[in-house]
Amino acid sequence: MNYSLMPERREGPGDPMPKSPSPLEEGGGPRRPDTGSPDKDSLLKRMRKVDPKQAERYRQRTGE
Amino acid sequence: MLNRIFGLETEYGLLIHEDRPDHSPTWFAHQIRDHLFQVQRRGLLDLHHRGHDEPPGNGGFLTNGGRVYLDMGHLEYASPECHSLSDVVASDRAGDLLIQQAIEALGVSDHVSLIKNNIDHETDATFGSHENYLVSRRFPFSRRGLAPLLTFLVTRQIFTGAGRVGAARPQDAWIQMDRLIVPRTAVGARGGVNLPFQISQRSDYIVNDFFEWVQHNRAIVNTRDEPLADPNEYRRIHLLLGDSNMAEYATALKLGTTGLVLQLIEEGLAPQGLEIDEPVEALQEISQDQERNWLIRLQSQRTISALDIQEQFLDCGIRHCQGQDEETDWVLAQWASVLQDLRGDYQKLVGRVDWASKLWLLECFRESERLDWGDPLLKSLDLEYHNLNHAKGLYYGLLEEGRVPRLTTDALIQMAMDQAPKNTRAYGRSALVRHLLGSGEAMDSDRSGTPEGLFPAYVINWSIFQVRGRAPFPMPDPFRTYLDDVRAHLEPIIV
């Protein structure tokens, strides 16, 4: 994040921000995920808790 | 990224978990907004009419330089101006967290869910995720000059789409054919409840290539000329065709690739000869293609896949932009990686591309529960992917499993809830909001109103503000912080 890199940071409110992990650093930003399947059991458990009728209850207006 | 200011505007949905709720989503949106401004004191409510649908008190600027407001009954968050992808990702997620935490603080999180999506499967309502890119006024903003952008935008959904179950009902799905806007079914396109899954949420609702409105006749490129900056220097490219992304990676790649394509166009280096024969039709056909061949016809009558088109833009980006800065190189590398993986099993994209994550989750559930695509439960699971409650949302389930790459950190998101990027105009605005909050001017934000005939205590807009008794303070350059000037301007009234 560029917050901490800017010369004006000393004038800003609050503490200087820590530097964000660089996308290019090892262990930092995005990396290609393992191609194996995530743990399906815990995800299936989460999905089984979903209210099956919630899509009917959503009832949103068109926005913009 | 070079010479680029990014911003995101997100309209949220509110799901009320009751059969016959006492209050509407809009009622809850008012409660959440009031809690943010009046209890948590996250910012200053507007005291002036910003527009016919934005009366005083409808919303306001935050200490992080962004805005929260109500738009057509939806809670909306606009990020502060950001000069890097890292900042815009953190600032966008900061908006999610601000609203989610307000719901929890109000004690209603058990029966109200904050949903970051763009459609209602039942009512066919749609609401937006708008992208903003600052470009030079010299940008070739003509039908011819924008042709490469149109081609890029129609095809980028293969990695930016958030996916959805089904399609908009045919009567609400219109497309442009030969300059006429016609029902999609009239040209034999597939649509409606029989479509199992498509890769984009918004593509069904885009009916024009270029147009200036946002609420009707939505276009691939919104042509409203509202730079929110010096109109002699800048233009704001305002896009409303994209989906709200849950994956930080997808958000960064969407903004990063689009930013690079705008740079290529500005510099006259974009690929040529790729004009799509019917761009609106192609947008919907790509989204709905169940085989994911993503073939489209060009004006030259050549047939080409969306992947091949994206490869041409990527090659052009590598030739002309590689090495210009760290973020550009990250975008080019990840763009190449995603396009390569899209040529194989979509499961390789799980965690990085939202439609792939959602499709994989739905397929797992269908297999486990032996459901067919017509089961209405799948629409509820589709919604749950976008639930911003970390304990419930399906995206956060994937994140918990460690399979979603992060581009920012929770600590930086927390910080971005309160602080502005320190290298854009948002920083000076943030200082203004803090000083007015600290000086008691915020007390004037009571919507009982300003005495008739008096200038309100403050008027704040994106590119200018005025404090009562002081001259207007223009902020026409989004790349400047204006911090010292803002402080000097306010000094006599700073407590």
The three-point CA angle B158-B161-B163 to 5° equals: 115
Q: Chain B residues with CB inside 8 Å of A8's CB?
A: 422-423, 427, 481, 483
d(CA B373, CA B377): 9
Determine the pLDDT at residue B20.
Answer: 82
Q: Chain B residues with CB inside 8 Å of A27's CB?
A: none
Q: Chain B residues with CB inside 8 Å of A58's CB?
A: 13, 15, 115, 120-123, 383
Buried b (16+ CB within 10 A) or exposed e, B412-421: bbebbbbbbb
B337 to chain A, any CB pair closer than 8 A? The answer is yes
Q: What is the DSSP string of B227-290?
A: -SS-TTTEEEEEE--PPPPSSHHHHHHHHHHHHHHHHHHHTT-S--S--BSSHHHHHHHHHH-T
* pLDDT value at A15 more than 80: no
Task: Indicate the residue type of B178.
Answer: D
A10 to chain B, any CB pair closer than 8 A? The answer is no
Q: What is the pTM of this model?
A: 0.90
Buried b (16+ CB within 10 A) or exposed e, B131-148: bbbbbeeebbbeeeebbb
Determine the pLDDT at residue A59.
Answer: 84
Whether ipTM exceeds 0.90: no
d(CA B190, CA B205): 14
d(CA B334, CA B252): 10
B91 to chain A, any CB pair closer than 8 A? The answer is no
Question: What part of B 391-430 touches A (C-beta under 8 Å)?
Answer: 392, 394, 397-398, 400-409, 411-412, 415-416, 418-419, 421-423, 427, 430
d(CA B69, CA B105): 19
* Average pLDDT over every residue of A4-29: 34
CA atoms within 13 A on the CB side of B321: 32
B122 to chain A, any CB pair closer than 8 A? The answer is yes
A54 to chain B, any CB pair closer than 8 A? The answer is yes
Q: Chain B residues with CB inside 8 Å of A10's CB?
A: none
Determine the pLDDT at residue A10.
Answer: 27
Instruction: Read off the DSSP letter of residue A44.
Output: H
Determine the pLDDT at residue A62.
Answer: 82
Nearest CA in chain B to A4: B422
Determine the pLDDT at residue B252.
Answer: 98
Determine the pLDDT at residue B53.
Answer: 84
* pLDDT value at A29 more than 60: no
Determine the pLDDT at residue B3.
Answer: 82
Distance of CA B481 to the CA centre of its chain: 24
Instruction: Give me the helix-helix angle, B85-105 and B25-34, nearest 10°.
Output: 100
A16 to chain B, any CB pair closer than 8 A? The answer is no
d(CA A52, CA B381): 8
Element (H, E) at B141: none
In this structure, the dihedral spanned by the alpha carbons of residues A13, A15, A16 and A21, taken in order and rounded to 10 degrees, is: -130
Determine the pLDDT at residue B189.
Answer: 57
CB atoms within 10 A of CB B329: 16
In chain A, where are the structural domains located? 1-30
Q: Which of B439, B437, B4, B112 minimizes the C-alpha distance to A54?
A: B112
φ, ψ (nearest 5 deg) of residue B15:
-100, 120
Determine the pLDDT at residue B213.
Answer: 74
Residues B457 and B47: beta-carbon distance below 8 Å: yes
d(CA B211, CA B219): 5
Record the tokens describing residue A50, joined without a space.
């979903």
Instruction: Read off the DSSP letter of residue A32.
Output: P
- Reported as a pLDDT band with limits 50, 70 and 90, residue A3 is very low
Helix (H, G, I), strand (E, B) or coil at B173: coil
Determine the pLDDT at residue A9.
Answer: 27
Yes or no, beta carbons of A54 and B394 under 8 Å apart? no
The minimum CA-CA distance between B338 and chain A, rounded to whole Å, is: 9
Yes or no, beta carbons of B215 and A64 under 8 Å apart? yes
In chain A the first and final C-alpha atoms are separated, in Å, by 29
B322 to chain A, any CB pair closer than 8 A? The answer is no
Residues B158 and B286: beta-carbon distance below 8 Å: yes
Determine the pLDDT at residue B441.
Answer: 63
d(CA B249, CA B89): 9
* pLDDT value at A34 more than 90: no
Active site residues of B: 71
The minimum CA-CA distance between A10 and chain B, rounded to whole Å, is: 10
Q: Give the residue, B256 or A30, on which the prediction is more confident.
A: B256
The minimum CA-CA distance between A62 and chain B, rounded to whole Å, is: 4
Q: Chain A residues with CB inside 8 Å of B76's CB?
A: 63
Q: What is the DSSP string of B32-67?
A: HHHIIIIIS--EEE--S--BTTB-TTSEEEETTS-E
Q: Which of A26, A7, A27 minimizes the C-alpha distance to A16?
A: A7
Nearest CA in chain A to B392: A46
CB atoms within 10 A of CB A42: 12
Q: Chain B residues with CB inside 8 Å of A21's CB?
A: 406, 409
List, in order, residues 6 or more apart from A4 with CB less than 8 Å away: A16, A17, A18, A19, B422
Can you give the pLDDT of all 495 residues of chain B as single tens digits?
A: 778 999 999 999 999 998 888 899 999 999 999 999 999 999 999 999 998 789 999 999 999 999 999 998 899 999 999 999 999 999 999 999 999 999 999 999 999 999 999 999 998 999 989 999 999 999 999 999 999 999 999 999 999 999 999 999 865 556 666 666 666 666 655 555 589 999 999 999 998 888 877 667 789 998 889 999 999 999 999 999 999 999 999 999 999 999 999 999 999 999 999 999 999 999 999 999 999 999 999 999 999 999 999 999 999 999 999 999 999 999 999 999 999 999 999 999 999 999 999 999 999 999 999 999 999 999 999 999 999 999 999 999 999 999 899 999 999 999 999 999 999 999 999 999 999 999 876 555 544 455 545 789 999 999 999 999 999 999 999 999 999 999 999 987 554
The three-point CA angle B17-B375-B243 to 5° equals: 65
Yes or no, beta carbons of B115 and A44 under 8 Å apart? no
Q: Count interface pairs A-B at CB distance under 8 A.
A: 210
